């Protein structure tokens, strides 16, 4: 099992950038467990043809910019077993990723019930890193780093209007 600390800032975008040629594209499906939880912290994740079981939680409950992520790599058969036998709330998205020296950009375009939601995560090597120049490349609506309503586990199983209305 691996454990990492993520330092992220999260933004809602008004639109997808026209030029994504510098990004890699992946399909993600997350199944959040348990489905009865208001904010499930355990997820089964498929990233193209790779599979994981992850627990993600805030290092400090009042600062959602720094998260602890514990991950176990699964075989496809293990993932399929869990997917078939466990109830969970699902969300699917296309993720565009760009990696730079001091940060990683993840641009998530949500599918199905969460369309037209577009979320930009900037994962930083250092919380004090200046990202103003990076942000200039995106049509940002608002920052939602510390808004719990935009945690994947809270959004899974909801529709776009439920997520957006909860933030007003």
User: What confidence score (pLDDT) does residue 128 get?
Assistant: 66
Tell me: the pLDDT tens digits for 42-66? 999 999 999 999 999 989 888 888 8
Q: In the predicted model, is pLDDT for residue 168 greater than 60?
A: no
The neighbour count for residue 121, using CB atoms within 10 Å, is 19
What is the maximal distance between C-alpha atoms in the chain?
A: 46
- pTM here is 0.90
User: What confidence score (pLDDT) does residue 37 get?
Assistant: 92
Q: What percent of the chain has pLDDT over 90?
A: 71
How far apart are the C-alpha atoms of 122 and 60, rounded to whole Å? 19
> CATH top-level class for 2-167?
mainly beta
- Strand pairing category for 103-110 and 42-47: unpaired
User: What confidence score (pLDDT) does residue 95 get?
Assistant: 98
Helices (H), the chain: 76-85, 132-135, 152-155, 160-167
CA 64 to chain centre: 13
How many Cα neighbours within 13 Å face the side chain of 38?
2
User: What confidence score (pLDDT) does residue 102 get?
Assistant: 84
How far apart are the C-alpha atoms of 43 and 90, rounded to whole Å? 9
User: What is the overall mean pLDDT for the chain?
Assistant: 91
User: What confidence score (pLDDT) does residue 129 get?
Assistant: 63
- If one compares 68 and 1, the residue with the highest pLDDT of the two is 68
Own/partner long-range contacts of 97-101 (Cβ < 8 Å, ≥24 apart)? 97/23, 97/24, 97/26, 98/22, 98/23, 98/24, 100/134
Tell me: the pLDDT tens digits for 3-44? 888 889 999 999 999 999 999 999 999 999 999 998 899 999
* Domain extents in the chain: 2-167
User: What confidence score (pLDDT) does residue 127 get?
Assistant: 66
Mean pLDDT of 118-127: 87
Tell me: the pLDDT tens digits for 80-101? 999 999 999 999 999 999 998 8
DSSP assignment letter at 34? -
- Which stretch of 97-106, 109-118, 120-129 has the lowest confidence by average pLDDT? 120-129
């Amino acid at each position: 099992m691996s454990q990492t600390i993520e330092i992220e800032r999260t933004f809602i975008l008004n639109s997808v950038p026209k030029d994504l040629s510098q990004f890699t594209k992946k399909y993600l499906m997350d199944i959040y467990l348990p489905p009865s939880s208001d904010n499930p912290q355990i997820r089964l994740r498929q990233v193209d043809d790779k599979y994981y079981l992850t627990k993600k939680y805030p290092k400090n409950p009042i600062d959602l910019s720094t998260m602890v992520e514990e991950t176990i790599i699964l075989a496809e058969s293990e993932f399929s077993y869990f997917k078939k036998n466990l109830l969970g709330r699902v969300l699917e998205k296309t993720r565009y990723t760009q990696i730079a020296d001091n940060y990683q950009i993840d641009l998530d375009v949500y599918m199905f019930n969460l369309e037209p939601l577009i979320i930009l995560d900037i994962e930083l090597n250092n919380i004090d890193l200046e990202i103003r120049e990076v942000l200039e490349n995106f049509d940002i609506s608002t920052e939602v780093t510390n808004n719990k309503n935009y945690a994947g586990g809270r959004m899974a199983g909801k529709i776009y209007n439920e997520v957006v209305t909860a933030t007003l």
